[in-house]
Each structure stands twice: as C-alpha cells, then as structure tokens.
Structure 1
Amino acid sequence: MLPTQNQPPLKAYTPPRPTREDLDFADLAVIDLSKLSTPEGQSELVQQLRRALLEVGFFYVINHGYTPSQTARIFDIANLSFNQISNEEKKKYAQKDEAIYQGYKIKHQWVINSGVYDEIEQYAVNHNGAVHEHPPALRPFVPELTAFARQNHYQVLRPILRLLSKSLELPEHTFVRMHDFSTDGTSPTRFIQYYPRPEAHEILTKNVWLKGHTDPDFGNVTILYSQPIGGLQILSSDNKWRWIKHIDNALVVNLGDAMEFLCGGYYRATKHRVVQPPVDQQKISRLGVFYFSTPNDDIRLSPLIESPVLQREGFRKYFEDGKVPTMAEWRKQRTARYGRSQLKASVEEEGVEEEIIHGAVVKHYN
C-alpha cells in the first residue's frame, strides 16, 4: 500500500468530469478480486476471465486494494511529473537508452501518420524507484512510487496471473514464477500524458493519437488506472472500434504480446488505439497511470504446450524453432523500434502496416 503517514505535501490533481457524449462503449467484464477469498469465487473468476479474454480481450478489475484517495494521490504525483517540471528538466532526465524505458520520453519522437509526430510525454519508473535519478521535485515521492509498484505486482498482477494459469489448466503459480519483482531492468510504472493537437494534425491523422497496436504492451499484462478522459478504443470482433468507459477507481486490464506468444495464440493481445477525446473533452490533456508487467528477461517466448487447454484447442508457434527470443531480446527490439520503424503496407489487410521482428510479423492498425 502507499505510505499514509508523513506524506510530503502535493498539489492536488482535479480530474475532469467523464464525457457526456453518447459513445459506442465496449462491453467489458468486471473482475471482482474480493471473490478470490473462496474456492467458489475463484472458480467463477477463472471462467469469467476466460470468456473475457476469448470474446473481448480487455476487462475491468475492482476491489484491487487501493482506496479512491490512494488512487487520487498517485494521479497527483503523475500530474506533478508533467505539469510542475520544466521542459529543460525533462530533457535532463530523459531516457538515455531507446531500448530501456526509464525516465522521460519527450514529445515528437514517434511518427503517427502523414509526417505528424506525437504529442505524448511519458515518465517511466523502475520497480525500485531509487535505482535511477529523478527530478528534484519528484524525489520526495520515490517511496510512494516504489510502494505503488509493489502494490500492483503483488496485489493485482499476481492474482491475475494465477487466474490465467488456472484458465489454461496449468499449475497455479506457472505465470507467477515467470514474474519476479525487482530482478530486471524494466520500468513498469509509467505515467503518460497526451496533449491536445492542432486541428490540422487531427485532419492529417484522422484523429488518431496512437495507431492501433498490441504493442507497446509488449509484456504479459497491462494495468491501466481508469481515468475520465476518453480516447482509448479497442477493435471488437466485428471489426468496429469501441470506446472504453470510465469506472471510478477501477483498473482496465489487457494482455500484451508476450502472453500471446506463451499462450500459443489461444489468448490474443487485443488491438487498441488512442484517438482524439470526445468533443466535450478535446481541449484537456489526457493523464494516464499504468503498470506494465513483463516476464523475467530469461524467459523464452514459446508456447506452454504442457497446457491441457492448448493441447485440446491447438496452438500457434510465432517463432522458428531455435530462434525463439527471450523476453529481454523481444523487449529491447520492440522498445527501440516503436514509433521509429519504417512500416510496410500489408498486402492482405487494408489499413494495416507491418514490420518484422525476430521473424514475427508485428502489425499496426490505422
């Protein structure tokens, strides 16, 4: 849990009210982690999770251990990282290695479309917030950032991983053992702010702020703290983009590419994108709080063929035998190339661009 005593003072972030637009929202399952306390509840959640991942790919999580006031506090810190630190300081603490998210990702590094660059800033924090240097204004909050990562790993990620293992009829701790805490160089806690763009850029990009993708969720499980500004959409099975609706103090969860590889395609990394917010929110910066999990760096991303479910239902191998990358190899390539690769139009799917990484086709959806 976040420290509750002797917290340093912090300017409160006031979130905007949710959109009042009549939008086409996706119908997501709600996973209530309080049901884990009984065998019957666990069995119900396993079945609910399986349906959610096979039919939609995203789901909500509630009763995850954070109170609304604790969630508000982490948004206060996220807001500070962007709006109370100068651009000069952000550049000083920008990520030094394109293959490792740590520190700031500055705006205008990714090409969105038609020569238009992104208006996105990120601040990524290691499991152990003290292992890298932060701007002076953020340093008093490092203990809270570390506690936030620990909370997400043990109280949210691990229960989800256990449910995933059970849904594949694998031993309960199969995925948990692949995810050690504080043993790799990744930075799972990430604050992301999208800034409003000029109308000319909206026209050139058809209002898309981040192309349809399964990456950068290149790991196993992505946890997003629901926030009221719209923009996140998922591609539904009927090939329509649908909005994700805000639920106070809920988490929005989806699987990344590594989990798709480990599941042999039984569970897929859902295609999603970020677009210009609804009309009543278009002039407001969109602030997000995320926890991105990845397997241990030495895990090879081949299907868990010992799963009875995969043996019954079938599975796909994404890499040639002998050429299966480790999580570290996949992570470094995806991170270094995201938003910078020269993409080629797919010859099979309209509006899809592709690149090849470690022999696997990575798709981007316009």
Structure 2
Amino acid sequence: MSFHIPTIDITPYRENGTDAERAEVARQIDASCRSVGFMQIVGHGIPDEITNGLTEAMDAFFAMDLDAKKAYRTPPHINRGYSPPKSESLSLSLGVEQASRMNDFFEAFNVGAGAADYPHVDDLPQPAYAENVWPEVDGFEQQVQAYFAEAAKVARTMTRIFADALGVAPDYFAPRTDHSLDVLRMNNYALPSGTDVTLDGDLIGMGEHTDYGIVTILWADQVKGLQVLDNKGNWHDAAPADDALLINLGDVTAHLTNEQWMSTLHRVKPPVIDGTIERRRSAAFFHDGNVEYVIETLPQFVDDEHPEIYEPVTVAEHIQAKLGGSRAGVRNESAVREGARVLASRY
C-alpha cells in the first residue's frame, strides 16, 4: 500500500457548515491522525495576498548578508530571532545524536506571541513569552504579523475540529490555549555565501524530529525535501498541493491520545543538484498551548489494551526539554520512544 497524505477541506468549520458536514470533516481528521499524523488542508481561508506578503518578507530577510542577519540572533533559551546554519540539531530534541552535534544547515527566523499579546493574563513567564526582535527590513514586521494572525486562526479552527474528533467538549482546548505558546518559524534551506557546509550524502537540512505542541500549520513551497516517517519505518517525500497547508500533530496531541494519534517524525533533506542545494522555503506555525497546561492522557484512550504511556507534564517542562536539545545542544533524555523510532528507521 502506498503512503498517502490525505487532503481535507475544512470549509464547514469556517463557514457554518451543517452538523453532518462538520461530522464528516472530524471523521476524516480522526482517520488521518490515527493512520498518518500528517494531512493537508484546503479551505483554510488565508488570503493569497497574506501568504505572498509572508514570502516576500522571508525572501527580503534571508537575502541579507549573513553577518547582518546574525545581528538578530538571540541566546538559545530565547525562541526568537535568527538562527544561522549549523547552529541547531533537531535530532537532539529526541535524544538522537548525529555525527556532528549542531549540523542542521537550515537558517531560520522566529517570531512568537509575547506577554503583550495576552493582556488578560498577568505575570506570564519570561523568556517563554518574550517580545519579538524585528529586523530592519521594509514591510517585514507588518507582513509577518499579518500571516501570524491568520495562521493562529487556522490553528484554533483545527483544535475545534480536534475536539469533535476526540469526542470532548467543543471548548475543550479554549481554556488550555487562551495564552498559547505560539511561534512562527520561517525557514530557508539554502547556503549563504561564506557558510562552511560539505555537500555529501549525509547532509541534513533539518534533522529528524517531532513537533512539540498541539498542532503545526505549515506553509511550504513545492520543492522536494520534507520527508515523513511511516509506521513501518520508511521515509516518504511530502509536498503540499496547490493552495494547501500541511498539518501535523505535535507531542501534546500524542500524549493526550496515548499515541493513538501520532506525533509524526519528519525531517528535511533538500536535493543537491549540480553540487548546490535547491533552495526551499517553509513557515511553520506552532500552536503549543498555555505554558502551565498540564498534559494528561484523556481517559477514553486508556484501557487494558492501551495502558497509559505518559506521566503528566506541563507544556513548559516538555518544551524546555525539547528546545534544550535542538537549540542548546543538550541531549533530551526524555524522548525515548521517539528516538527509538528514528534509530529503527530505514534511512
């Protein structure tokens, strides 16, 4: 049987669909979450001009000189600003150590929801809710903020669908995400001049990893490179259809469902053509939940055949361990299950 990432139209959840139409969308989401953990959605409602503005902003920033971009770099514990090539290793977020510890060649720029975005909540912890660092690029802040707002709407539509698919109250996620740790990571897979990277068979654009939170909304261009691991240990190429967004589950969702919904392992290995890397761009919106949210498995997913896998943990504790691996180079010893899947995969 060939590997297939389903395409699902979520319009009924955005435009007052009938109960039957919404139930069918929830059924398709549930089936995809159980079988693949990745899907692509259409009918998401993000206008083309907003997406085009995002890509213009990304292109303008990443075209800057490497030293100029490094002026917007932040310490590893602050998930904002610029990450240059070979400053991260996503596989370490799973406790899997590659030959070179910090070897992912992608560059990225991160923005997120800061404390000022949630005026209804007092004393949000820093640096989890840090304010953003904005580069001096014409239109960048406005264009990125416009897309961030639209992606946040899509993320909350997805959690509303998840609630129906999981059989919980429609507003289950609302109090757990009303000051969510939301981050937009804009990625560029290309080698700036002066970057020391050897083009060989082991080159990693972004190492094997699962996403950390509830759901990820991914815009990507259609250049090959993204690969998804199936439940038999095989890697498959994944690229969005026209006007589609890729959706994948994060660790929080896998924890909630006792891994009956999977947080799918993925990586990026853009093709090397004529000795150079074909440029690839993506922008991932991570919707992770409130920092103090205690992630506990839903009781309907625990029975004699499915004993509980995870201990309760807060979103803050979970993400701190993950970021400590990917950005600070500290091997995450708590991701035993995911790391075993990577090591068993067929490269």
Instruction: Indicate the TM-score class for this superposition, using the shorter chain for normalisation.
Output: 0.7 to 0.9
In the alignment, structure 1 residue 50 sits paired with structure 2 residue 30: yes
Q: How far did 1:255 drift?
A: 0.5
- State how many pairs are aligned: 314
**Aligned to 1:160, what secondary structure does the other structure show?**
helix
* Alignment deviations for residues 238-288 of structure 1 (CA, whole Å, 9 cap, x no partner): 322111133122100001112111222221101111113275996322111
Instruction: State the one-letter code of the partner of 1:94.
Output: R
Structure 1 counterpart of 2:6: 29
Structure 2 counterpart of 1:125: 111
Structure 1 counterpart of 2:19: 39
Structure 2 counterpart of 1:134: 134
Change (3 A) 1:316 1:341: farther
Structure 2 counterpart of 1:335: 323
Matches within 5 A, 1:343-354: none
Unaligned runs of 5+ in 1: 1-23, 344-354
Change (3 A) 1:362 1:82: same
Q: How far did 1:117 drift?
A: 2.2
Structure 2 counterpart of 1:178: 176
Normalized against structure 1, the TM-score is what?
0.77
**Aligned to 1:117, what secondary structure does the other structure show?**
coil
Instruction: State the one-letter code of the partner of 1:80.
Output: A
CA distance in 2, matches of 1:102, 1:118: 18
Matches within 5 A, 1:64-143: 64-83=44-63, 85-96=64-75, 98-110=76-88, 113-115=98-100, 117-127=103-113, 131-137=131-137, 140-143=139-142
Q: How far did 1:339 drift?
A: 5.9
CA distance in 1, matches of 2:228, 2:47: 27
CA distance in 2, matches of 1:45, 1:164: 10
Among 271, 282, 286, the residue aligned to 1:277: 271
Change (3 A) 1:316 1:52: same
Q: How far did 1:104 drift?
A: 0.7
Instruction: State the one-letter code of the partner of 1:106.
Output: P
Change (3 A) 1:71 1:25: farther
CA RMSD of aligned residues (A): 2.9
CA distance in 1, matches of 2:231, 2:324: 30
Which structure has more RCO (C-alpha within 8 Å, separation ≥ 6)? 2
Structure 1 counterpart of 2:166: 168
CA distance in 1, matches of 2:276, 2:31: 34
CA distance in 2, matches of 1:90, 1:167: 43
Change (3 A) 1:100 1:133: closer
Q: How far did 1:166 drift?
A: 1.3
Structure 2 counterpart of 1:18: none
Unaligned runs of 5+ in 2: 92-97, 118-130
Structure 1 counterpart of 2:94: none
Among 309, 312, 318, the residue aligned to 1:317: 309
* Alignment deviations for residues 47-83 of structure 1 (CA, whole Å, 9 cap, x no partner): 1011111111100010111233332221111112211
Q: Percent identity?
A: 22
CA distance in 2, matches of 1:255, 1:34: 20
Change (3 A) 1:160 1:57: same
**Aligned to 1:294, what secondary structure does the other structure show?**
strand
Change (3 A) 1:25 1:279: farther
Among 216, 220, 226, the residue aligned to 1:232: 226
Change (3 A) 1:152 1:246: closer
Structure 2 counterpart of 1:302: 296
Normalized against structure 2, the TM-score is what?
0.80
